[in-house]
Structure 1
Amino acid sequence: MNAPSVQPSTLHLLGRFSEAFTGAERELLDIRRLLEGRRPVKLWSDVPPHPSYAGQGIATIQPFAQQFPKGGTLLIAGVHLRPGIWLKYARFEQVILFYNLANHGQLFGAIEALRDSTGVDPELVFVSKMLQFSVGLPGRIARSLMDLQPFLAVADERFTQAAGRPFTVGRVSRDAPDKHHPEDPALYRLLASRGLRVRIMGGTCLAAALQGVEGVELLPAGVESAADFYGSLDAFFYRTGASTEAYGRVVVEAMAAGLPVVAHVRGGYAEVLEAGVSGLLIESQEEAYDAVMRLAADPGLCRRIGEAGRLQALAVHGPEATRREMDFYLRPAVAA
């Protein structure tokens, strides 16, 4: 007689859903969707969620109303989150901490606070080798979990849509100054002066430098679906300023959408991008300008890099990689 299967305990996913477009929180939504019917999952936010998340079933933690995660496994989507005193009463079997933002001080503080509050040593998950090597702690390297299907559909249609419009380069991110390099506005002005179109979703924070520049469009974060936005581009450009991009899932999304990517060498995404084949890596303003103009002048190069990037995105985040990640989330919290 077969032994009855053990129902997995609840997986509590804790994020900060206060902004419309954040990679860590979008990943939590993908985890919940992929685990549907396989493990109980509950989404939590440490602050009231942004209206764009309405209908997603995200509960706001309210300790004095006894509304907070209890039992099972707690997954915390970043060291910027600071769970409160309710942790002492939650009785978790397991705690998983995503390290997806390069701030070592916050990481060590979070590990100590979680250990003191729960009595459980948190299991660390790093989104890139770069982050793990920089801090020197044991843990698991797991690329950001994502559903590529909407972006793969864009790749199938991109080249028929591109006809009859100026060559368009763009990027998507949170609408925050630290997500943009200080030299980005000057680059966008120069590209626009050469007849290119520039679209920045998550770029209203650049309005003081770019408002009214013909050919440059600054959009709020999340105003279009990411897939629709990628479909409006011919190339994707990405670099950050004060913040180091721990992984940069938007870069991989753009690759999956068949877009040739131009990105700064500093970022976790560089680990899954082969320079000159599945993307162009740059270090300086001059290299950034030359790379974009080279793509604008050569449709064949755009197609070759875009197709290679699409294949690379599938290799790293396709169905087989997703199945391996799901095994991690479906394992028992406590060994029998």
Structure 2
Amino acid sequence: MYSAVPDRPTSTLHLLGHFTDLFTGAERELLDIRRLVAGRRPVRIWSDVAPHRAYAGENLVTVQPFAHQFPKNGVLLIAGVHMRPGLWLKYTKFDRIILFYNLANHGQLFEAIEAVRNGTGIDPELVFVSRMLQRSVGLSGRVIRSLIDLRPFLLVAENRLAALPSHAPTGPGPRPFTVGRVSRDALDKHHPDDPALYRMLASRGIRVRIMGGTCLMPALAGVEGIELLPAGAIPAADFYGGLDVFLYRTGASTEAYGRVVLEAMASGLPVVAHARGGYAEVIEEGNSGFLINTQEQAWDSLMLLRSSTGLRRTTGLAASQKALELHGQDAAESDLDFYLQ
């Protein structure tokens, strides 16, 4: 999908993540960056802790300062302000240090900037995952919403949209109408009203599938029509292929961007999402998705989409085109150029 660019500098791009959880967006993005950069520049992924066993095949290197095993030169990309590189920073000679700001915690951001500056003498270049996040802190930097390898999701969209006629009649399809979502399996990723909404949907014969939803077992275990799967139970693209609508809102956690929302859009899914996330700035209300603030709005949007296969097709097509515009080859080339300077 992405063509090679000749004559790149040969200094190594080091990607530093916190690989304790298999399904965090920042670490998934590092894996995509490595795939997209391959063949252009040497690239190495580091974990600041012993990585989760599920990453065994990903060729990650664990930082071990006392064994002198840590990135030392080239370009360092730190995937989040929740990480604190240790004293080993003082023994490095990087050309550039790039710091992702992908979780809304301004205190951690300023602490991370100071730690990098004190350890290396370099002011880190800030990358924000949304304009919302950049505006909230008021610092200069570059907005790179995410580097996502869209290929598996666009294939899902192609198959989905081919199966939905352009001028479809209203009414349910040949299988149960299915609403679902993907996230980390943590309560802060789910809105407090979600269990009640899922029960309402199931009572109307609508199938609900939540990957990353076992934390909701106390509220929903045993409810017919509701399937709660562990995070990563099946490949994300395959999961999106079994849905009709993607529903997404969070509780205490506010999404700085919401990578899974854009994956679902790329898969040709109509998205019904809470209006407060960073993804909201790229969803055109009523065209490429539906933004909601209340339980009633969520219900009405889902019922509207359930009633019309044609609306699901036009909304899903617009969503896929928007995701391609934001994360396709042209956008990726510009962002990769920034990392490879």
TM-score where L is the length of structure 1 = 0.95
Pairing partner for 2:218 from 208, 221, 234 = 208
Cα offset, 1:45, TM superposition: 0.6
> Is contact 2:178-2:207 (8 Å) kept?
yes
Distance in 2 of aligned mates of 1:6 and 1:259: 37
Match of 1:266 in 2: 276
Q: 1:320 aligns with which of 308, 330, 335?
A: 330
Residue aligned with 1:323, SS: helix
The alpha-carbon deviation at position 9 of structure 1 amounts to: 1.0
* Equivalences for residues 114-193 of structure 1 within 5 A: 114-158=116-160, 160=163, 164-193=174-203
CA distance in 1, matches of 2:173, 2:87: 57
Q: Which residue of 2 aligns with 1:223?
A: 233
SS in structure 2 opposite 1:115? Answer: helix
**Once superposed, which parts of structure 1, at least 4 consecutive aligned residues long, lie more than 6 Å away?**
none
In the alignment of these two chains, the number of paired residues is: 327
The alpha carbon displacement at 1:6 in A equals: 6.8
TM-score normalised to structure 2 length:
0.93
**Which residues of structure 1 form unaligned runs of 5+?**
332-336
Q: Is 2:99–2:125's contact at 8 Å kept on the other side of the alignment?
A: yes
Amino acid across the alignment from 1:109? E
Question: What SS does the corresponding residue of 2:93 show, helix, strand or coil?
Answer: coil
Secondary structure at the counterpart of residue 98 of structure 2: strand
Residue 157 of structure 2 aligns to a residue in which SS?
Answer: helix
Report which stretch shifted further, 156-165 or 266-275: 156-165
How many Å separate the matches in 2 of 1:276 and 1:252? 16
Cα deviations by residue, 1:176-211 (Å, 9 ceiling, x for unpaired): 111111111111111111110000001111111111
Task: Determine if the alignment matches structure 1 residue 29 to structure 2 residue 31.
Answer: yes
- What per-residue deviation string (whole Å, max 9, x for no partner) do you get for residues 16-64 of structure 1? 1111211111110111011111111110111111122121111111111
Partner residue in 2 for 1:288: 298
The amino acid across from 2:278 in the alignment is: G
CA distance in 2, matches of 1:86, 1:34: 28
The structural deviation recorded for 1:247 is 0.5
Q: After alignment, is 69-78 or 87-96 more displaced?
A: 87-96
C-alpha distance in 1, partners of 2:186/2:88?
31
Cα root mean square deviation, aligned: 1.3
- Report deviation, 1:8: 2.8
State whether residues 101 and 109 of structure 2, in contact with CA within 8 Å, keep that contact through their aligned partners in structure 1. yes
1:69 corresponding residue in structure 2: 71
**CA offsets per residue over residues 55-98 of structure 1, 9 Å max, x none?**
11111111111111111111000111111111111222211000
Tell me the SS of whatever aligns to 1:75: strand
Report the 3-state secondary structure (helix = DSSP H, G, I; strand = E; otherwise coil) of the residue aligned with 2:215: helix
Alignment correspondent of 1:334: none
Q: Is the 8 A contact 1:252 1:313 kept in 2?
A: yes
SS at match of 2:97: strand
Amino acid at match of 1:44: W
CA contact (8 A) 2:270 2:319 kept: yes
Amino acid at match of 1:15: G
Which residue of structure 2 aligns with residue 112 of structure 1? 114
From 93, 99, 115, the equivalent of 1:91 is 93
1:316 & 1:158 partners in 2: Cα distance? 21
After the TM superposition, which residues 216-255 of structure 1 pair with which residues of structure 2 at under 5 Å, given as runs?
216-255=226-265
Q: Is the 8 A contact 2:8 2:41 kept in 1?
A: no
Tell me, yes or no, if the aligned pair for 1:8 and 1:330 is still in contact at 8 Å.
no
Matched residue SS, 2:269: coil
Letter in 2 for 1:156: E
Deviation of the 1:7 alpha carbon: 3.1
Q: CA deviation at 1:293?
A: 1.4
Quote the residue 2:57 is aligned against. Answer: 55
Q: Partners in 1 of 2:209 and 2:92 — Cα distance?
A: 45
Shift of 1:163: 5.4
The one-letter amino acid paired with 2:327 is: H
Give 1:256's aligned amino acid: A
Alignment partners' CA distance in 2, 1:14 and 1:108:
18
Once the two structures are superposed, residues 112-169 of structure 1 have per-residue CA deviations (whole angstroms, 9 ceiling, x without a partner) of 1111111100110001000000000011111100011100100122254995321000
3-state SS, counterpart of residue 58 of structure 2:
coil
Q: Secondary structure at the match of 1:198?
A: strand
Q: What letter is aligned with 1:150? A: P
1:279 to 289, 303, 311: 289
> Matched residues, percent identical?
69
* Equivalent position SS for 1:55: helix
